[in-house]
Chain A
Amino acid sequence: MGRAMNKIIDGLSIAAGMAFVALALITTVEVIGRKFFNFSLQGVDEMGGYVYAIGSAIGFVAAYTANIHIRVDLIVSRLPVSARAVLNLASHVLLACFILFLTWRATAQFLDSWHLGALAPTPLRTPLVFPQGIWLAMLVLFCVVLIAKLGVAVKLLTQPGGAEAAARLLDIAPATEELETELASLRQRRSDGVDR
């Protein structure tokens, strides 16, 4: 389940990145067209909003699996393992409550748009169920990932001596972790650059 899920999230991240590139290209065409050729593409800003909303919702999950959603580590890592496990679990439960609640409300919003046949108040008159539906799907994905992770953590906690593993699963990423990634990426660039 974990590996398949990571593949899905990775694929979605890359799709979102491509959408950002496409948006940058279209925006560039629009700006240059407007300035020099007196034409304007309708609704680039509206599309940009949708791409950002959906891309960032994919980012919510991607950031979660990469463990980069911001938490302050001043106390937690200095606590004994049982307290660390409890606080880490509480933290992830709170995040899950927030996202589940948001997803529930987003579902209601989507259903409203569906029943009312709501259109964006723009020249494109985009039916809102399309962007809101994809956005909602990404939030649902985040819920699934959160619940799955909490499930694993709770299962670990119920096993004898599982507190350490549960605490580690939900730990705050140390500041050095991101640096390690950057240094690895730098070494990669250096070795690629040899044949330059």
Chain B
Amino acid sequence: MPDATILAALYVAALIGFSLLGFHVAAVMALLGVVGALVTFGPAVVMNIAGLTWATSNDYLLVSLPMFVLMGEILLRSGITDRLYTALSSWMAQLPGGLLHTNIFASAIFSAISGSSVATAATIGSVALPNMTRLGYGQRVALGSIAAGGTLGILIPPSINMIIYGSITNTSVGRLFAAGVVPGLVLTGFFICAIVVWTWLDRSSGGERATRVPLAERLRLLGDLVPIAVIFLVVMGSLYSGFATATEAAALGTVAALGLAAWHRRLNRAILFEAFRSTVRVTGMVTLLIVSAFFLNFVLGLIGIPQAVAHWVESVSTGPAMTILLLVLLYLLLGCFMETLSMLITTLPIVAPIVAAQGIDPVWFGVFVVIMCELSLVTPPVGMNLYVVQGIRPPGSDVRDVIVGVAPFIAGMLVLVAALWVFPQLALWLPNLIYG
């Protein structure tokens, strides 16, 4: 049997190579699993692929995945989340750079609820950008705030990325959700600081103040935030009171979303069917990646690759700090050319055991890895959010404006990673408080 370290190097090279050549990432993982098992154990393990896939597809925790996607789709398609921006901006437009701060808050909440950074950029961006141009805001900071704001959704619960991390590494999703809350708020704070500094350095980018919305109108608009609060309350409340598991909380959230859509008289056949189509597509896309990853994970574990790599890392690394630093560099690099979800799913089988061997808390690491995913959404050349924000601009505009605009927010994310290392309690305090 070949040396496990060599196999690990081959694995990484093949994974990156095939992915860059445009192969379906799920098929590449399955291929690597099949080849790895054939080379080391012969056909017996490979023949069991259907059993493993069936077992993965039956995982009750993963049932939360279509539920959360459906919840987000219903809220999105029924237009309930669309009112978020107007409500928030009526309160914040008076602040210096107010619409920029609105972008951050609106994108954060919108993406956390809808689970889609594309829908976030489309909805917030197409309302915000014309407004901001009219009021003379700097293009770059405006674009950057929307692209960066949309990344907050995968850190703030409920987060699909956290569910996937939890299921692959066998970590409590409840704890992971709780662990994302404080870092999510801190990062929002960092983004606000980035805007304050930017508009202070470049006074012209802060825009004119919008006309004041009368208080009565603002109070009325506050009502548009109620459905969002209801959803958070139902999902998080049921989860943390010990009332429901993650999957049950997702089901309660879906039913609440249906109720809210019906209340707003937006529950019709067209909206529901569109939500169903989108939910099933997204579920299929994510699940195919997950089942391939579980199969590959199983094979790699049998071969002993994660252990070999962990051993190797221990021999070159001076300790957990060095390991995390190396992982920051690895994820920054991968994030530049890999799509976020596939980056998360393909690296965890190798990375999670290394981190566990170094005594790093899996919940803390979940938060870390999700922040690295956020970074990958905005790092060129393939940061998804850069392109969706660019996509809502008039044809002929330069994508470099978005890239420059997002740079200070990237700095904010890196500062958060450092802060998390120094103060791990930022992530761990809340889950420990709730779960003991």
A residues with CB within 8 A of B: 10, 13-14, 16-18, 20-21, 23-25, 27-28, 30-31, 35, 45, 48-53, 55-64, 66, 68-76, 87-88, 90-92, 94-95, 97-98, 101-102, 105-106, 108-109, 132, 135, 172, 175-176, 178-180, 182-183, 185-186, 189, 192-193
Of B118, B277, B284, which contacts A178 at CB under 8 A?
B118
> Measured between C-beta atoms, what is the minimum distance from A25 to chain B in Å?
6
Interface SS majority for chain A: helix
Contact A70 B279 (CB under 8 A): no
Q: Mark B1-40, 1 if CB is under 8 A from A, else 0.
A: 0000000000000000001111111111011001000000
- Chain A nearest Cβ from B199, distance in angstroms: 28
Is A94 within 8 A of B387, CB to CB?
no
Given A48-B247, A105-B50, 7 additional A-B pairs, CB 8 A:
A21-B254, A52-B59, A56-B284, A70-B339, A71-B23, A182-B118, A186-B123
Q: Which residues of A contact B252 (CB under 8 A)?
A: 24, 27-28, 31
Instruction: Name the distance in Å between B397's Cβ and chain A's nearest Cβ.
Output: 13
Q: Are A179 and B121 in contact, CB atoms less than 8 angstroms apart?
A: yes
Q: A56 contacts which of B21, B57, B342 (Cβ < 8 Å)?
A: B57
The CA of A123 and the CA of B283, in the complex, are separated in Å by 28
Q: Are B280 and A59 in contact (CB under 8 A)?
A: yes
Cβ–Cβ < 8 Å partners of A27 in chain B? 247-248, 251-252
Whole-angstrom CA separation of A35 from B126 in the bound complex: 44
Contact B285 A72 (CB under 8 A): no
Q: How far is the CB of A72 from chain B (nearest CB, A)?
A: 5
**Contacts from B to A (Cβ < 8 Å):** 19-28, 30-31, 34, 47-51, 53-54, 57-60, 62-63, 65-67, 70, 77, 79, 82, 116, 118-119, 121-123, 126, 238, 243-244, 247-248, 250-252, 254-255, 258, 272-277, 279-285, 287-289, 292, 337-339, 341-342, 381-382, 384, 387-388, 391-392
Main secondary structure of the interface of B (DSSP, over half): helix
Listed residue (A51, A88, A98) with the most chain B CB atoms within 10 angstroms of its CB: A98
A98 to B35, CA, bound (A): 12
User: Would you list the 10 A-B pairs with minimal beta carbon distance, nearest first?
Assistant: A59-B284, A17-B276, A53-B57, A27-B251, A105-B50, A49-B58, A56-B287, A76-B22, A182-B122, A24-B254
